[in-house]
């Protein structure tokens, strides 16, 4: 009997040649052949960078593996054609699953970044409030750390250069994914319908026809699962010309806060040998208070995006898991 090595890394690491030949014993009937064939057992000393070191044959552990062949009762070409069409559908489903997996990772990264920016902005806001409290009503200006004036600028840049394009990219990818799912479902269903039609014309294919009818129930389940997946509403996908959108209203608020916090650094009269002081910025009391209002507004807008991204991450992961099950079924289904 000629066999092929299923593990391609074993084939390479152990310098094997395919196909290889071995002995077998079998029971033969009119419609089937079943028995065992002698396998080959290999051992190695270690695995380095995914490859076996000093791979060698240990014939004392050669196993007896079972096999079974069953005569096809109808034209094998029909089954082969159907399986090829199902494989094409499986590839489309798998492509969507990989896209959703990528979106899941990117959304999770956004949630992490959002928490970081909220902490930085919260610290900046606390610093400004602390300065207002410290100086009281004595003077018309307050001294604020330069880092606190940079925080909203940094967040504005992140929102406009990372978040907004990311969300626009996501809605595009999800729309494409929805189209691919539709194409895959249609292709799988059409393959089954063609297969059933051809099988019905051949009485000797009765068993396969019954299996194909059972398979139809699976395709109905596929459609029902995919219909449950709702793409997000467009209200979060932003038009740069819309000043009321999220996160553009947040970005606009942070931008306004940054402009209010612009001031002049106080003159430093200490000698160069003195310890370096924290760089401060002189801001009018009025502007500092207005900046706190804008920071509060911007943080509220930024906070609203967190739950949405978490919801998308959960929804996309759920659909990805369903697609994985569908792909596995299409690859292992028993028709034919």
Looking at 51, 70, 89, the residue that finishes a domain is 70
Q: Which DSSP string do the residues of 194-218 spell out, in sequence order?
A: HHHHHHHT-GGGHHHHHHHHHHHHH
Based on the fold, state whether residues 137 and 239 are members of the same structural domain.
yes
Where does residue 177 fall: left (phi above 0), alpha (psi -120 to 50 degrees), or beta otherwise?
Answer: alpha
Quote the CA–CA distance of 288 and 171 in Å, as a whole number: 38
Which structure tokens are listed for 165? 């394009």
Domain C-terminal end among 29, 50, 70: 70
Say whether both 13 and 157 belong to one domain: no
> Is the same domain home to 59 and 107?
no
Query: What's the pTM?
Result: 0.58
What gap in Å lies between CA 335 and CA 87, rounded to an integer? 13
Nearest to 102 by CA among 308, 320, 305, 309: 320
> 3-state DSSP call for residue 56?
strand
pLDDT, tens digit, 9 for 90 and up, residues 200-256: 777 777 777 777 777 777 777 766 666 666 655 444 445 555 554 555 678 888 989
Q: In this structure, are 151 and 294 located in the same domain?
A: yes
pLDDT tens digits, one per residue of 49-71: 888 999 999 999 999 999 999 87
pLDDT tens digits along 75-87: 777 777 888 888 8
Q: 28-55: per-residue pLDDT in tens? A: 998 899 999 999 999 999 999 888 999 9
The C-alpha angle 205, 208, 213, rounded to 5 degrees, equals 120
Number of domains comprising the chain? 2
Do 88 and 45 belong together in one domain? no
If asked whether residues 128 and 54 sit together in one domain, one would say: no
Smallest Cα–Cα separation from 153: which of 302, 253, 265, 249?
253
> Which domain range does residue 23 map to?
2-70
41 and 163 co-located in one domain: no
Among candidate residues 261, 260, 248, 263, the one with its CA nearest the CA of residue 302 = 248
């Amino acid at each position: 009997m000629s066999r092929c090595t299923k593990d391609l890394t074993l084939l390479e690491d152990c310098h094997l040649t395919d196909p290889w030949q071995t002995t077998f014993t079998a029971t033969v009937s009119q419609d089937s052949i079943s028995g065992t064939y002698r396998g080959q057992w290999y051992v190695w000393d270690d695995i380095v960078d995914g490859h076996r070191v000093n791979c060698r044959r240990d014939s004392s552990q050669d196993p007896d593996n079972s096999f079974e062949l069953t005569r096809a009762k109808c034209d094998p070409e029909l089954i082969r054609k159907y399986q090829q069409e199902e494989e094409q559908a499986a590839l489309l489903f798998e492509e969507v699953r990989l896209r959703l997996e990528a979106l899941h990772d990117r959304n999770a990264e956004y949630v992490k970044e959002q928490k970081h920016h909220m902490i930085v902005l919260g610290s900046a806001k606390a610093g400004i409030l602390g300065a207002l409290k410290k100086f009281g009503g004595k003077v018309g200006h307050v001294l604020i750390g330069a880092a606190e004036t940079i925080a909203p600028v940094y967040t504005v840049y992140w929102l406009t250069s990372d978040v907004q394009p990311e969300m626009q990219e996501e809605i595009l990818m999800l729309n494409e994914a929805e189209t691919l799912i539709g194409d895959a479902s249609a292709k799988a269903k059409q393959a089954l319908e063609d297969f059933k039609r051809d099988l019905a014309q051949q009485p000797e294919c009765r068993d396969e026809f019954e299996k194909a009818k059972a398979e139809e129930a699976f395709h109905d389940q596929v459609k029902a699962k995919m219909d449950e997946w709702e793409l997000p509403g467009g209200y979060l996908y932003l038009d740069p010309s819309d000043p009321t959108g999220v996160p553009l209203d947040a970005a606009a608020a942070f931008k306004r806060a940054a402009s209010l916090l612009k001031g002049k650094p106080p003159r430093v009269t200490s000698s160069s040998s003195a310890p370096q002081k924290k760089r401060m910025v002189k801001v009018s009391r009025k502007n500092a208070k207005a900046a706190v209002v804008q920071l509060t507004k911007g943080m509220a807008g930024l906070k609203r995006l967190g739950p949405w991204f978490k919801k998308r991450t959960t929804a996309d992961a759920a659909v990805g898991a369903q697609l994985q099950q569908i792909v596995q079924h299409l690859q292992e289904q028993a028709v034919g």
